[in-house]
Amino acid sequence: MAKSGIRHIDVGDELTKAEWESEQSHALVHGNAFPAGPVERQLFYRDDEHRWYIYNDTDWITTDVSAHAALTTGIHGVGALHVAGFHAAGQAVSKVIWKDTFDVVLDLAAQTIDIDWTDIDLTANTSPNAKIALVRLYLRLVDGGTAGANFLGIRKKGTTDYWGVEMTNALPDGMAVQSAGLIGLDAGQVIEYSVTVATAGTPSLRCIIFVMGYIE
């Protein structure tokens, strides 16, 4: 008669039909107190707690996920669960916050002169833990000129690398360009922007910067 249950066998050994159908009991132990003299990898079900434990050669460790450290922003404790790609304790997890309504942090309705790198404080639009902002840049030619290019750029405060949107000055009035991307934040959640207005003719620009979200 075939037997049901769990059979214990060392790795590499073959479990024979005779061993499987032997009269030896393989029932898992249960009760309200841990058994004496456990061996490593032994399972035990606590009836009073309604949960499984496994012996790790030192202690009885619960197999419940809820008993382990939860994933949080920042550093994990030893024994915490980890997202795929974060296999070791001590690695941080990023948190992305998306704004259903974007924040307008700059709106220049009719810019006609250059603006050198100028601060934009994103404290009210992000968080003290924010490291990166998700932004959208919008540049529209209100009144065009004859030649040259117009530019709206951003960069992390205190750095020199930047990115932005550019459009030729010879386009018809009302034409616009836009782009979305990431920008690093300094310790005070500050970025910088600049505007370059073409010198040919008398162009006028609409410059808008939106914050769409941020990453902690």
Q: What is the dihedral of CA 41, 45, 46, 52, to 10 degrees?
A: 70
* pTM value > 0.95: no
Tell me what the mean pLDDT of segment 65-79 comes to: 49
**Topology of 96-215 in CATH?**
Jelly Rolls (2.60.120)
Within 13 A of 121's CA, how many CA atoms are on the CB side?
A: 4
Amino acid at 60: W
Sequence spans of domains, the chain: 17-67, 96-215
Q: What is the pLDDT of residues 142-183, one digit of tens each?
A: 887 778 899 999 999 999 999 999 998 888 888 999 999 999
